[in-house]
Amino acid sequence: MTRILSMLVGIALLAPSLLFAQSGDAEAGKSKIVTCAACHGQDGIGTTPENPSLAGQVPGYIATQLKLFKLGANGGRENAIMGGMVAALSEQDMADIDAYYSSLPPHKGSITPEQEESALAGQSLYKAGYAEFDIPACMGCHSPNGSGIGPTFPRLSGLSKEYLQSQLLAYKSGQRKNLMMSPIAYPLSEQQIEELAIYISGLN
C-alpha cells in the first residue's frame, strides 16, 4: 500500500505540468461539439454504453485528455478515432468543449437487481482497496461517490459498466498506458474488474 500511495503522491505533484490550464467558454463549446455529440451526446450522455458520458466531468480533465489524444504516439494517448477527431482542434477549442461538457448535469448511475451481488464485491475494492496487491481504495482519488477530484482525477459516476470495464481491461493489458492506473488494474482478475465496473456504474 505504501508503494502505491507514494507513487500517487509523486504523480499528483507532477500533475500541474501535465494539466490543461487554458480557460474555456461553455457557450462557445456548445457550438463546437457537433462531431463529439455523435458519440457523447449533445447532453453529454454517451449514445451507446461503449461511449463514455462526459456530462459533469471535473473541469479540466476533458481538455487534458483531448490534448493527449492529439499528441497520440508522441507521448500522449493513442486512439485512431479520437486522434482524427482532435486533429483540427485548437487549444481554445479543447478548453471550450471541456467547459461545456463539465457544466452539464452528470448522468445518473444505476444497477439492476441481478447485479447487486457483484456490486457488493466491487464496493469492497472501491472503498477498501486490495491489500494483497497493495492496491489503494479507488475512492481515495475518485471520491466516495465517484464524482472525482478535479482536475487530476476524473468523475467515474455516470459512466456505463461496459465502458468502465473496457478501460480497466485496457489498463490491465497495457493497451491503455497510464503510470497511475496500469499497476492498479494489472493484478486484478477479470471478475474483479467486472464487479468493480458494476459498482461504479451505480454511483451517484
- The closest of 4, 15, 9, 199 to 120, measured between CA atoms, is 199
**Regions of the chain short of the pLDDT cut 50:** 1-17
* pLDDT for position 75: 87
Q: Residue 89 is which amino acid?
A: L
Q: Where in the chain is the domain with CATH 1.10.760.10?
A: 18-103, 113-201
Architecture of domain 18-103: Orthogonal Bundle (1.10)
- Going by CATH, does the domain composed of 113-201 fall within 3.40.50.720? no
Quickly count: other Cβ atoms within 10 Å of residue 3's Cβ. 9
* pLDDT for position 164: 98
